[in-house]
Structure 1
Amino acid sequence: MRAPIRRKRGGASELWQTAYIDLMTNIMIFFVIFWSLSQAQSKGISETVGDVSTRMVNLPGDVLFRPGQTQLSPEGQAVFARLFQEDADSTLNFKTNGLVKRVLFIHGHTDNQGQKDKNFVLGFERAMATYKQIAQYGKDVPDHVVVCSHADNLPAHDVPKIDGPVSSFQKAAMDQANAKNRRIQIEDRLINQFKEEP
């Protein structure tokens, strides 16, 4: 009699799951980039003189960072590589007409969970990690960046305030609002260099 054949654990089943996870990750990255670029205006610097935000891009924090972490995830690094790697010469070109200075404001936003002071630190460290990642693509970036933290003081979506027991639907709505608030916001602003004194 022959002994029964034992199948190795893993194999095709785990390969399929790994390929599926990789595919979903790439789809998510593509969606984030497409969504971000759809919010942005056309490339180039406006010749408008004054303090004007020419472009504002919101990137979901849950894609860029693991929960509670301040280092960019591999997916987050891939997002910035696709945004800046091939087109850094025009995207990170800070030359202007001399009357204005182009500045990137990197805003780190958190949700309202936990202590406010810790959220300020978390928001700042995430914005700082974003700055360091972008700085890899342009040597002039350090002279044209302001890093900010908001700790849910400027939420993208208000979280419903509910007294008493919370239903599963209400919890899902609260989780969705908090997820929207956890974000990195990159504001492209032109600042007037020669303001008239009052």
Structure 2
Amino acid sequence: MNKFVKTEKTRNSGAAAWQVIYTDLMTIIMVFFVILWSLNQGKDIGVSETIGDVTDRMLNLPGDVLFAPGKSQISPEGKEVFKELFYDETGQVLNFQTGGLTKRMLIIHGHTDGDGKKENNFNLGFQRAYAAYEELKNYSDDISDHAVICTHADNTAVQEVPDFEGKISEAQRQTLRAAKSKNRRITIEDKIINKFDLE
């Protein structure tokens, strides 16, 4: 009788250990699939979420320095800014050689403030981005194969423009001017793209 009880206890403890191991294994597998699922949320297979994979650096250039108000021709001061940033005797600043597995792209964004008609601002944003692209061509022969031009009519503002009502004070006027000035800009985004995503 004692022998039978001992054997039954041994059998039950072995079964309990197996169930614990099985439960742990299933929990690990479930966690693994939850992680995989969460990584794929919001991704549409076959459609790129952005123009590239990694933004290496982003450069904001104030439009008030580069352009006269309402104009798309780069000012002499603006040309000096481009020269200071992109002139390089070694040819490394705008070197697009990446070794074949990735591709380097410059996305040039032309931003305006919200004054005037939206259509006119889209056009001005594009013309300014194109002028920046033309200026960059002075510092790289390869840029035409590595540039994308975007235009924004105040819909990606770096600073929210306050919506003052009624007669505004001089301090409020200065705040408005500063906010609008920050939104008038050229942004040059340096992206590294995984070439496998392009196929």
Number of aligned residue pairs: give it: 148
Per-residue CA distance 1:80-104 (angstroms, 9 max, x = gap):
1111123561111001131211000
Give percent identity, aligned residues only: 53
| Contact 1:158–1:177 (CA under 8 A) maintained in structure 2 | yes
1:110 aligns with 2:112: yes
* Structure 1 alignment gaps of length 5 or more: 1-49
Q: Give the 4+ runs in structure 1 shifted more than 2 A.
A: none
Distance 1:131 1:118 in 2: 20
Max radius of gyration: which structure?
Answer: 2
Q: Which residue of 2 aligns with 1:185?
A: 187
Structure 1 residue 98 corresponds to structure 2 residue 106: no
What is the alpha-carbon distance in structure 1 between the residues aligned to residue 90 and residue 75 of structure 2?
Answer: 21
Alignment-mate amino acid for residue 145 of structure 1: A
For the residue of structure 1 that corresponds to 2:91, the secondary structure is helix
Contact 1:156–1:181 (8 Å) recurs in 2: yes
**Long gaps (5+) in structure 2:** 1-51
Match of 1:90, SS state, is coil
2:125 pairs with one of 109, 113, 123: 123
What residue in structure 1 maps to residue 153 of structure 2?
A: 151
- Which digits, 9 at most, give the CA deviation of each residue in 1:90-136, with x for residues without a partner? 11100113121100000000001000000000000000000000011
Distance 2:143 2:90 in 1: 11
Aligned to 2:140: 138
Shift of 1:71: 0.3
Query: Aligned to 1:185, what secondary structure does the other structure show?
Result: strand
Separation in structure 2 between the aligned mates of residue 88 and residue 139 of structure 1, nearest angstrom: 14
How far did 1:195 drift?
2.7
Q: Which amino acid aligns with 2:104?
A: R
